[in-house]
Each structure stands twice: as C-alpha cells, then as structure tokens.
Structure 1
Amino acid sequence: MNKLKYIAVLAFLGTFGISEIGAQIKEEQLILNRKREPEVKKIEKKKTSVIQEKNYPPENKKKEDSLNLKYDIVNVPPVSDFKTTEIQSEDISPKFNNDFQSNYFRLGYGNYGKFLADANISGKVQDNVEVGADVHYLSTTGLKKDYDWDSKSSQAKIGAYANIYAEKGKYNLDANYGFNNYNYYGIYAFTPENSDLDLQQKVNKFSVNASYDHYSNEILNNVKVRSYFLSDHFNAKESYADVELNLSKHDFAISNDITANADLGIDLETVNSKFELLDQNNSNQLNFTLSPKVTFYKGESYLLIGSDFSFLNSKLSDFTGENKGSKFYWFPRAEVLVAAADEFKFYGGIDGGLKLNTYGNLLEENPFLISDLTLTPTETKYHFYFGLKGDIDQMFKYDVNAGFSKVNNAQFFVSNGLFNNSIAVERPGFDYANTFNSIYDNGTLMEIKGDLQVFPMENLTVDAGLHFIKYKLDNLEEVYYKPLVQLNLGAKYTMLEKKLALGFKGYFVTDRTSNAFSLYQDPLTSNGYNSMELVNEKVGGYADLNLSAEYKLHKNFSIFALGNNLLGAKYQNYLGYKVLGAQVWGGVKITF
C-alpha cells in the first residue's frame, strides 16, 4: 500500500504538464489548519467577491465585533493546537495572502510513511451563491522501530458548504463527514507475549452546521446551529445539537457622546452519550441559557453589564442505576475597557459559565480515551480577569492578561490500569493499561497569558505566546497533564517577490504529571497480575521545532517542504504514546 502511495506521488510529479489556467484564485486553504468547533467559522473565511458582500459587514457589525473581543481564559486549551508530530497535526505551510487562493489540490509524501492528499474547490453558481467542497486525507505508518505492535493511523474529512448572500443577511451551510482511524499503541506497563495485537480504534463523526447573520442589528442579530453525530469502534454513540439565537438593539443614544447596545443571547444545548463497555455510562444533558447584557461605549472605551442564567437538566446512568437532576445557575458578567490610547488599553471584568463535557470534544484533546466516560459539566462559578493590550505604530501588537477562577468539576485526564487482571485472557485493545479516563475535582485556577505580534518589515511577521496555569484542587494532589508553562514562537517570511514563503513554529512545554501502573505477576497464583498505581509519574517537557517552505514555480503550480519536530525528540503528550520523531516531507500543489 505504501509503495502505491509513493508511486502515485512520483507519477503525479512526472506527468505534470498543465497549461496556464486564467482563473484567479481567492484564498488558499490548508489541511487541518481549521478548528472543528464551530464549523461555520471555517465557512465564513471562504468569501467571494459577490455584490452583496462588498459592503459587508455594515458599520454596526464592525463595532459589535470590536466590542465582543473577549479575553476569556476559563477553558484551558490542550497542550498545543499545533500537534505537528501526531496524526492530528496542523499544517504550518505559509499562506500567500496576496494571491487570495482557494481552489487547489495537493499531494505530499515523507518519512514515517506520511501521505497527504488535500483539495478545496469552490465556485459561484449565482452572483450571490457560492458552493464548495473540502477533501483531506493524511496517514502515517507510525513508529515501527519503537513498537512491536501496530501504531499506524489515518484520518480523512470530506465536506460540502454553501454561502448565500441575501439582501438582508448572509447564510452559511456546512455538512461534513470525517474519520480518525488509529491504534491504542501506548503499552508501557508490560510487554505482551503476542505482538500481533488488535489495538484498533476508529471514530466517525458527521456534522451539519448552519448560520444566518443579519446585516442590521435591529432585533435579530444572528442565528447559529451546530450539530454532530459520533460513533466509534466500540459502539459508543453521541449526538449533539446547539441552537443559538442573538437578539439586539444597537447604537441608541444615551447622551451626546455615549451610546449603548442591548443584547439578549438565547442558547439551547443538548447532548446524548451512550457507552456499551465496562460500566456502560450513559448521559443525557440539556442546558438552556439566557444571556442579557447592556454595553455603554464612548469612543473605543466601553462598559458591559450583564448576567448568564442557565438551567441544566441531566440524567446520568450506568449498570448500577440512574440519577436524574435539575439545577439553576447564575453567573455574573461585567467588563470595562479604558482606551487611554491605541498603545495602551486597560481592561478587566468578571464572568463565568457552564460547559458541557462531551465525548466528541474530549477526543479532540485526547484520542486515547476509553469508550466509557462519566461526563459531568464543568462550572466556572466566577472568573476575574484584567489585562493590558495595545498597538504601537502598527508595528507591535500585544495583549497581557491574568485571571483567577473558582471552578467546580474541573475536568482532567487520568491513566487507566488493567480492567482484567488475568494473564491468560485474550485482551481487547483497550485493556493493556493504555487508555485514559476523565476525572473531575473542585478548586481554583490562576492563569497568566501573553501574546504579541511584531512586524519589523513588510515581508516578515514574528509572534510569540506565553501561557502559565496553576490549579489548586480540593482532592487531587497533582494536576494531571496540565503543564505549568507553555511557550510558542513563530515567524513568517516571504522573499523573491513573494514567490518563496518560509515559516517557523516552535513550541516549548514544561513537565507534566501523570499517574501510572506497575504490573507484576502474582506470586500466589500463576494466572493473575497485581498492579500498583504510581502517582507523580513525570511525562517530560519538550521543545518542538518546525520549519516550512513553499516556492511558486508558476502562478498555478508550487512545491512545498515541511520539517516537523526537527530536534527528533519522541516525547509523550500522554503516557506511553511516543510521537513521531524528526519528519521531513514535501510535495506539489496545483491551484486553479
């Protein structure tokens, strides 16, 4: 199979002979450089030059967007969205923004059997209607020299979308199917006698999303719908739907120099999760939220006052029984921004909220979860924050902020031991102390974040980010898989009349703590394991350096090369799961 992929790339390179195509491309889309949630944001980036869009967004929409630039640091992100050395990697190929390309086809190949096929096609069927399709595939043969068992993986995503620009608003529709096919290869506690193991896990996800953005903020602002259905290899099933309606009345005068916006957010979110393994956990949760707020602004300064009212109805069950409950929550919401100058803008506030933890969202963070989780919402009772941001001569942009939160049922990952201690058993792929579970605890969270962008010259951009997090929990002595400090550095540089684009991304993460299990044969019986849980097992920090280059041989043809994890460290994001070492791969791209 790998030879066929390699031959396909060579054949594509050898037979390329396409005449010049005159169509001007709008925007380049790159594989996996997109957030899954919400999908409609991906669509909004694929804009066409239709008549209805040339005056969009209206001035009041621009003002609304500027006011809604929140600096929420409640939900701690994964170690990095840039998972370059895993199959869930993000492509760092630089974009040629001056060409506004969107229609393209790419093929790439590299070590570790990495194979890439990637395409985006879109076009107008009417002056105000754009339709398109995304197709992405990425696979690797894995770490054959490190593991006697299979560590290969592959993922794909195919989707279709439509943008409709009406007289009074903009519609977005998006439907896509994706799968992630991989193995539970992180076996560390003991060596199986048979290396021919079935460790397969496969996750399928079908999503449908839609939105309507009203050009005027008179009463109706926007409507958003997100939904997905997920299933996996072990018959886990989850369905999710979220309907959000935003009503507003904007730009009404309070005095000569003070105006105000009034907004009401209405959100209905529901998720139904069913597992058929082990304890057979099931959960059915419905969260209804009202979010009224009023914003007073004077120039670029503003004061926001509001609240969030949430009503949660949940039903949790396993093989032992069922637990039903309903609860009402109130969360304060206020924010003030004082724009002393473009260079110095001080802001601060308080907010909170309820987050539904779903199987689909947790898999985005950790794909090696057991297909049997207790899913409990995380409540941020309050979150105080303050910060300083600014733009100095359009050459230096920065944002530094700090926050303190009180959190109930904060979610963390924990390693599983064996589910069956028998030695002679034929084990399923998840029963080698190689999976993770979800645990929860109450406590406080302190965060410090800093982000900056520097533009020292027209064709060079440099960026950096720092994230410090510190939990203090009621029960857990250690916070698993949450590094104390994360640092990222990046740069983009174009040269040779922008025919050559170079990119750099560096990620630096401190040590993380995990629990682990030590297994040994029971001396009293010959057919059983004893296990001992080890706490404070360190999963080492790492530095991950990445380079990229793309050169345009022709306006419709370019070649690219990527160097990922160039230091070659096979670090572990999760205990037992080494990532790929140094990777070098490249290929060709056609735009049309």
Structure 2
Amino acid sequence: MKKYILFSFVGFSSLLFGQGGPDVIVTGIGLRQVEPAYRMSESPKIIDTTIANPVIDFPLLALQHPTKIEVEPINPATIKTEQKLNQLYSTYVKLGIGTELMPLGEVYFDSRRSRKFVYGVHAKHLSSYGNIKDYAPAQFDRTKLGLYGGINEKNYTLRGDLHYNNQGLHYYGWKIPTDSVDRKTTAQRFQDVGGAVSFASHKKDSANLNYKVGIEYNNFGSKKPIEDSLSDWRARENFFGFNSSASYKLGKEIYAADFNVRYNGYKYGSLGDTNSSVIDTGIVLNNTIINLKPTISTYLFNNRFKAKVGVDIVIDAHQTTKAHIYPVAELKYSMFNDIFIPYVGLRGGLKQTSFKSLTAENEFLLTNVSMRNENTAIDFYGGIKGTLSKRISFNVNASFARIQNKALFVTDTLYSVGNKFNLLFDTLNLTTIEGSISYQLNEKLKVDGIGRFYSYSLLNNTYAWNLPQWQAIARGSYNLFDKFLINLDLNFEGGRKALVYAMEDDVTVENLQFAKTLGFVADINLGLEYRYNKRISAFIQFNNLASQRYNRWYNHPVQVFQFLGGITFRL
C-alpha cells in the first residue's frame, strides 16, 4: 500500500513540474559603487649594506737562515757545423796496375754546381798482357773516351754527348801452345764512334704539352784484314735514330705517345761477291724499324691505383716488310702506404739486332753474320714489390714470354778453327722467376741480393745454348768512418749448355745434338779502399777470389785470381 502511495506522489509531482508559467520582464537602474583609491605617502629608499672588512695583521717571525753562494764552472757550449752541400772536385784520377801486367788509368772531369750548364769528360784505359795456359794468346785492351754537355733552363733542357771506344782482343779459344801462334792471326779490334743530341720541354702548367725529341748516330766496325786486297771484307755498321715522345695531362689521365725511327746498315764485303775463300760471300743488311706507341695512364684512389693501357704499332722493314701490333697494359696498386705494391702487365716489342749489340754480349763473334730482329710476341708479367721498413725493400715477380728469332751463340767450325762463334736463331718460350731484396743504412751499408730461375722451351734446339738456368747475385758495400770502403760482389750461375760436334767429357746426346755442360760459375770479387783524406785514397781489388777457371763461353776459360792496386786523387 505504501508503494502505491509513493508512486502516486512521484507521478503527481512530475505533472506539476511539467506545467509552464507566464514570462515576466523587469526593467530598472542598477547602482554599483567602487571604493576610492589611496596613494602611499612614503617614497622608496636605498638601504646601505656596506660592511667594513676587518684588517688582520700577521706579524713576521724574526728568523734568518744563513745562505752560502758557490760558483761552479760550466762547460762552454759547442756547436757542430756541417756543410749543406759537399764540396765538389772537378777532376778525379784513378791509376793502378795489376797482375799479368794489367795497367789501369781513368780520368773524370766534370763541371761543378751550376744551375744552367753541365759538362764533362770521361776517359778510361784497361789492358792485360797476360795469357791463359795451354791456349792461344789472350791479351786485350779497352780504351774509352766520352764527352757530354747540357743546358738547363726553366722550361727546357738541351743535352748532347760524344763517345769513342777502341777495343782490342784475341780469339784465344784454341787449345794450342801460346808461342806457336802468330798473334796477328787471332787479333781483332773494334772501333766505335758516335753521338746524340736531345731537347726536352719542362712546362709546369698541366694544360701544356711536354715533349722530347732527339737524334743519334753511331759507326761501328771491325779491323781490316791483314791483306790490303781484302780491306772491304770486314764488318761495318752505321746506325741512325730519331726518338720523340710527348705527354699531356688532362684531369687524372695522362695521354702520351712515342714515335721512333731506327735504321741500322750492316755491310760485310760486297753483296753477291766472294773473296779468296769460296765459302765467304758478301752480306749487306738494311734494317729499319718504325714504331708508334700511344698510351693512356690514369691514377685513382689518391694515386694508389695506377692503370696504363696502349698499343705499340711497329713496322719492321728488314729483309721483308712486316707490321706488328703489341699490347701495352699495366696495373699496380699501392697498399698500406707503399708497403706492398702488387702489379701485373702485358707487353711485347721488336728488338733491333745489330753487330754492335751482339759483340757487346759475345766479343768472339764472327764478323760475317746474318742477323734477324728479335720479336717478343707477348710478355706477361706480374709480381709484388714494396718496402718492409725504411731500410729494406723487395721485389718478387714472374713472367712468361714468347720470343721469335732469339739469337743463340754456338761454336763456329766453318770459318775458324773453333775459336769464334756463329749465330743460331730459334723460337722459344721463356719462363722467368725472380726475387730481389735490398738493405740500405744511409750511406754506411748497402746490401743487394738477386735470384733468378729460367725455363726454356725451344722449337728446333734441345737447349738454349750458353744461357744459364739460374743465377744468384749478391752485392754489398760498407763505409767505415768514411775512411775504409769495402765492396764485395758474388756472382753464381749454373745450368749452361754448349753445342759441340763430337763426343767428349761431360757431353750428352739429345735429339741428335751434342750438348756439353759448361759447369758451375763462381765469381767472387773484393775491393778495399783507404781514404787518406778527401782528396787522396789508395785501393786494392781482388778478382776471382775462388781462382776458378770457369768457361765464360765454350772453350774460353777466364783468367784465375787477379790482383789490382793503385791510387786515386781529386783536384
């Protein structure tokens, strides 16, 4: 019942609120009063807060310590003075004499320091009157004279030189008592005279083209025969060369090109003619080589990487005219600030063979020889070089080359009694492995070591006659207090074979060829020099300390132990 009453009351109240009343509007005037404002009658003042610092007095104690003064002498200051540039002497003379009556004389005369001019003269004579036991006379003499000069300017240099060489020798490779041979019949003399001139620009601006041009001439020949009627039957050779090169730098690339012309004319007797010997005929060879070699080089990665590519175009105008194209490519990269520099390359070239170059290698060559230019069709090489420390450097490399018309020296039995050499030309594949290391301690100690291994594969011959299969070379010099100078040279090689035509000791037969082992070569030389002062010194030289009578060529043994001593002085 209470619930019903409650719900009824709530419902009735809702009805009451739901009814709306009339709107009422009241209009009137409102009055709002604001209390009056009053200003403060007091002015702001600065309060002085300065506080006086108290004065503190610390009286000193009346103490006095005794003092004592002692004067000790000191060493005077020393200053070590050194010349920035060593004094130069214009003249150097070396005089000596050795065993087997071997006189030596050498003179240098050079200009002193000059920014513009350089010039000098060099003359040398060395001869020996000694013989080799059980062989034909073996005396020799060598005389050289050279002059050079040049002009150095800011933008160019001019160079020139002249030379004259006179070399006398005997064809002693003949086992016969020395006294039973007329020296004139085995004597030979080579005359060599020539000169060269070159001009090179040195413009520092990279936008300019730098170039170099030069010409050279050389005359080389053997001595006249004993009979006047055979005066033309000797070797005569004239060489003329024109060399030029240019380079231009554009950005990181260097564009370069070489253009060279080399002419060599060799003449023995008259072409198509014969002398008193029916088998001896005249030889005339005109040999011209023209080559153009453009290349491009670039440097990357802060000059650590270098690449060079190009081509070598060669025209060989010899007995017939041929054209050859050789690659030019090389890559190298510097690692760890030049500690290791690996490199690889591909190249080739045509080498001009001349009578002068052949006799420089083997002076016992016949004067009537036919020659061919040596053609290296391809030469692939690679290796690594660098510096192990500031004093030690090294280089290890290997290469493979295919060479056509390689000249091999073999004993002649047609025009001589076996005391001269002729030429065989063959095609060979040459593999070379080489390693070298050097150590240098300022100018006090220098040591070099080189080792080489050769592997030959020939087309027509069993062996590469007279060429070694391995070589070991060591050189060292020591300067003790700039008073004593010591030089040591060690040369070892082995694996050489010579072509012979009959059975004898150490001869084997392979492919119908008689090959004789030439034996091991050990050549040890020691030099000592004592400097009395900066101008005068004395020296002694010991050659072939092992006293080994090895064969430099087949049937051509060298002289045993030699001693040479003398003095030097500067003016």
Any stretches of 5+ residues in structure 2 without a counterpart? 1-82, 225-233, 270-274, 505-511
| Match in the other structure for 2:317 | 313
2:268 alignment partner AA: F
The aligned residue for residue 181 of structure 2 is 195
The residue that corresponds to 1:502 in the other structure is: 486
Do the aligned partners of 1:572 and 1:579 also contact (CA within 8 Å) in 2?
yes
Are the aligned partners of 2:90 and 2:112 in contact in 1 as well (CA < 8 Å)?
A: no
**Cα distance in 1, alignment partners of residues 90 and 398 from structure 2:** 38
* Matched position secondary structure for 1:544: strand
Q: Distance in 1 between matches of 2:89 and 2:448?
A: 24
- Partner residue of 1:220 out of 201, 210, 217: 210
Partner of 2:328: 333
Distance 1:175 1:333, change over 3 A: same
1:281 to 280, 283, 290: 283
Alignment of 1:302 onto 2:303: no
Decide whether the 8 Å contact of 2:137 with 2:178 is kept in 1. no
Deviation at 1:443, TM superposition (A): 2.4
Distance 1:452 1:460 in 2: 14
Q: TM-score, normalised by structure 1?
A: 0.74
Please report how far the alpha carbon of residue 519 of structure 1 lies from its aligned counterpart in structure 2 after TM superposition. Answer: 11
Asked if the contact 1:284–1:314 (Cα under 8 Å) also holds between the matched residues in 2, the reply is yes
Partner residue in 2 for 1:161? 148
Q: Is the 8 A contact 1:417 1:517 kept in 2?
A: no
1:490 corresponds to which residue?
Answer: 475
TM-score by length of 2: 0.76
Indicate whether 1:262 and 2:241 are aligned.
Answer: no
1:500 is displaced (CA, Å) by 1.3
CA drift of 1:376 comes to: 0.3
Q: Secondary structure at the match of 2:547?
A: coil
- After superposition, the Cα gap between the structure-2 partners of 1:455 and 1:166, relative to the gap in structure 1 and judged at 3 Å, is closer
* Cα distance in 2 between the residues matched to 1:126 and 1:486: 42
CA contact under 8 A between 1:433 and 1:517: conserved in structure 2? no
Counterpart of 2:343 in structure 1 is 347
1:70-109 superposed matches below 5 A: 103-109=91-97
What is the deviation of 1:474? 0.9
> Cα 1:378–1:154, aligned 2, differ >3 Å: closer, same or farther?
same
Pick closer, same or farther for the CA change 1:394–1:225 going to 2, 3 Å: farther
8 A contact 1:107–1:118 mirrored in 2: yes
Distance 1:287 1:412 in 2: 22
Give the 3-state SS of the residue equivalent to 1:361 in structure 2. Answer: helix
2:443 and 2:479 in contact (8 A); partners too: no
What does residue range 313-392 of structure 1 map to in structure 2 within 5 Å?
Answer: 313-315=317-319, 325-341=320-336, 342-392=338-388
Q: Distance in 2 between matches of 1:102 and 1:395?
A: 32
Residue of 517, 522, 525 corresponding to 1:538: 517
- Alpha-carbon spacing, 1:127–1:340, altered in 2? closer, same or farther (3 Å): closer
CA RMSD of aligned residues (A): 2.4
Are the counterparts in 1 of residues 326 and 377 from structure 2 also a CA contact under 8 Å? yes
- Over 3 Å counting, the alpha-carbon distance change for 1:215 and 1:242 in structure 2 is same
**C-alpha spacing 1:391/1:99, structure 2 compared with 1 (3 Å):** farther
Report how many residues are paired: 457
Equivalent residue number for residue 142 of structure 1? 130
List per-residue Cα deviations over 1:359-394 (Å, max 9, x = no partner). Answer: 000111000000011110111111111000001221
- In 2 relative to 1, CA 242–458 (structure 1 residues): closer, same or farther, beyond 3 Å? closer
User: What secondary structure does 2:359 align onto?
Assistant: helix
Corresponding residue for residue 445 of structure 2 = 460
Paired with 2:460 and 2:142, the residues of 1 have a C-alpha distance of 38
Question: Does the 8 Å CA contact 1:518/1:534 hold for their aligned counterparts?
Answer: no
Higher relative CO (Cα under 8 Å, sequence separation at least 6) belongs to 1
Q: Which amino acid aligns with 1:411?
A: A
Aligned-residue offset at 1:534? 6.6
State the distance in 1 between where 2:385 and 2:211 align.
28
Per-residue CA deviations over 1:86-126 (Å, capped at 9, x if unaligned) read: xxxxxxxxxxxx77666201110010211101001122698
Match of 2:167 in 1: 180
The residue correspondences of 1:440-479 to structure 2 (distance < 5 A) are: 440-455=425-440, 459-479=444-464
Q: Which moved more, 1:271-280 or 1:347-356?
A: 271-280
Q: Residues 524 and 545 of structure 2 are in contact (CA less than 8 Å); yes or no, is this contact kept in structure 1?
A: yes
Question: Hey, what does 2:106 align to over in structure 1?
Answer: 118
Contact 2:502 2:514 in 1 (8 A): no
1:590 paired with 2:569, answer: yes
Output the amino acid matched with 2:372: T
How far off is 1:468 after superposition?
Answer: 1.4
CA distance in 2 between partners of 1:145 and 1:479 (Å): 29
DSSP-derived class of the 1:482 partner: coil
Cα distance in 2, alignment partners of residues 102 and 369 from structure 1: 39
What residue identity is the alignment partner of 2:310?
G
Letter in 2 for 1:409: N
Distance 2:439 2:169 in 1: 39
Secondary structure in 1 matching 2:131 = coil
Distance 2:242 2:471 in 1: 34
- For the residues of structure 1 that align with 2:132 and 2:420, how far apart are their CA atoms? 20
* Alpha-carbon distance between aligned partners in 2 of 1:326 and 1:577, rounded to the nearest angstrom: 38
What's 2:540 paired with? 561
CA change 1:183–1:545 in 2 (3 A) is same
1:281 deviates by 2.3
**Percent identity (aligned):** 24
| Larger of the two Rg values belongs to structure | 2
Residue 243 (1) aligns with residue 242 (2): yes
Check conservation: 2:499, 2:513, Cα contact below 8 A. Answer: yes
Q: Deviations over 1:70-92 (max 9, x none)?
A: xxxxxxxxxxxxxxxxxxxxxxx
Q: Residue 79 of structure 2 corresponds to which residue in structure 1?
A: none
SS of equivalent residue, structure 1 residue 570? coil
Q: Which runs of 5+ in 1 are unaligned?
A: 1-24, 27-48, 50-97, 254-258, 316-324, 420-430, 521-532
Partner of 2:392: 396
Question: 2:502 & 2:138 partners in 1: Cα distance?
Answer: 22
Asked if 1:436 corresponds to 2:429, the answer is no
SS at match of 2:408: strand
**Paired residue secondary structure (1:340):** coil
Question: Which amino acid in the other structure matches residue 248 of structure 1?
Answer: S
Alignment-mate amino acid for residue 153 of structure 2? A
Map of 2:550 onto structure 1 = 571
Cα distance in 2, alignment partners of residues 433 and 238 from structure 1: 25
Pick closer, same or farther for the CA change 1:388–1:326 going to 2, 3 Å. Answer: same
- Name the CA distance, whole Å, in 2 between partners of 1:559 and 1:534: 51
> How far 1:191 moved relative to its partner?
6.9
SS in 1 for 2:467: coil
Shift of 1:243: 1.4
